């Protein structure tokens, strides 16, 4: 289980910029349980986008966005719609956004922030990981998480130690920022590398008091 909350719609719409043709993907798993995905989320997203003058090129609900096979099968039915899209808006935890980013040659933008685990974890076959940082930045990193792919969790580009695409801390590991650079280059979005991202607000790692009264938080803290 990955517990998420919706980003403010103003922030989501701002992140889309001038890209008008939006394909929407929503997760029917954890995000549905958290009311940040599911069919209701899909309907809400379509309405918000259309009210903002965007064209919704397609919309699909996938039971578990962390399951790459499932995502591939479901999204494979929308190749034409995806070809006519500028980006994909994803309603799910950070893992789901990364999975969609790995499956399509389009920018992926998160509609949700991932907060905490909710006590138990599902099993997903892919390598994508989310550290529940509370402020999902995948929209400007080509859908690759800088927190879980960079050993130093850097947010503003690589450290000086990246060597032939490998991490200076662990030469067996790909440098997360090289992966981000290559993905952004392929997407024609290298300008996203230029923005300065503020330091992480680590308070977001601790859910707000109202969240700590939920069953999911209780499960997280079961001894
Ligand atoms: S930026 Fe990474 S750690 Fe933070 S919510 Fe997104 S996927 Fe998870
Ligand atoms: S080499 Fe790359 S992955 Fe390793 S700490 Fe530096 S930027 Fe991060």
In the chain, where are the structural domains located?
A: 3-217
Closest C-alpha residue for ligand 1 atom 2: 145
CA of 206 to the centre of ligand 1 (A): 14
* 88 vs 4: CA distance, rounded Å: 18
155 alpha carbon – ligand 2 mean position (Å):
11
Please report the pLDDT score of residue 102 as a whole number. 95
- 32 neighbors 120 (Cβ within 8 angstroms): no
Structure tokens at 101: 């980013």
Which pTM was predicted?
0.92
pLDDT value, residue 123: 65
Angle formed at CA 207 by CA 202 and CA 210, multiple of 5 degrees: 150
Ligand lying nearest the CA atom of residue 151: 2
- Is 158 a pocket residue for ligand 2 (Cβ < 6 Å)? yes
- The angle at the Cα of 177, spanning 94 to 189, to the nearest 5 degrees, equals 80
What six digits make up the tokens of 109? 């933008």
Residue 71 CA to residue 109 CA, distance in Å, equals: 16
Q: Which two tokens stand for residue 6?
A: 């919706």
Rounded Cα–Cα distance for residues 87 and 50 (Å)? 15
pLDDT, one tens digit for every residue, the chain (223 residues): 788 999 999 999 999 999 999 999 999 998 988 899 999 999 999 999 999 999 999 999 999 999 999 999 999 999 999 999 999 999 999 999 999 999 999 999 999 999 987 766 666 667 889 999 999 999 999 999 999 999 999 999 999 999 999 999 999 999 999 999 999 999 999 999 998 888 888 888 777 777 666 766 666 665 5
Cβ(130) – ligand 1 distance below 6 Å: yes
> Residue 53: its pLDDT value, please?
98
Q: Is 137 in the pocket of ligand 2 (CB under 6 A)?
A: no
Ligand 2 lined by 152 (C-beta under 6 Å): yes
CATH class of 3-217: alpha beta
State if residue 201 touches ligand 1 by the CB under 6 angstroms criterion: no
């Amino acid at each position: 289980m990955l517990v998420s909350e919706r980003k403010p719609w103003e922030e989501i719409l701002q992140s889309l910029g001038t890209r008008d043709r939006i394909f929407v993907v929503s997760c029917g798993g954890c995000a549905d349980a958290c009311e940040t995905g599911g069919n209701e989320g899909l309907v809400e997203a379509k309405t918000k986008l259309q009210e903002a003058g965007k064209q919704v090129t397609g919309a699909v609900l996938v039971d578990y966005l962390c399951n790459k096979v499932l995502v591939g099968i479901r999204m494979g039915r929308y190749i034409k719609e995806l070809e006519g899209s500028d980006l994909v808006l994803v309603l799910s935890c950070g893992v789901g956004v990364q999975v969609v980013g790995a499956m399509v040659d389009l920018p992926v933008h998160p509609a949700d922030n991932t907060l905490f685990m909710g006590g138990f974890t599902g099993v997903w076959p892919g390598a994508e990981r989310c550290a529940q940082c509370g402020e999902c930045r995948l929209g400007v990193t080509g859908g690759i998480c800088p927190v879980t792919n960079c050993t130093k969790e850097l947010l503003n580009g690589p450290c000086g130690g990246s060597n032939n695409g490998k991490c200076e801390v662990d030469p067996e590991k790909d440098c997360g920022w090289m992966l981000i650079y290559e993905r952004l280059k392929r997407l024609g979005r290298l300008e996203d590398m230029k923005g300065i991202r503020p330091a992480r607000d680590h308070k977001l790692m601790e859910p707000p008091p109202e969240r700590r009264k939920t069953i999911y938080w209780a499960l997280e803290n079961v001894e």
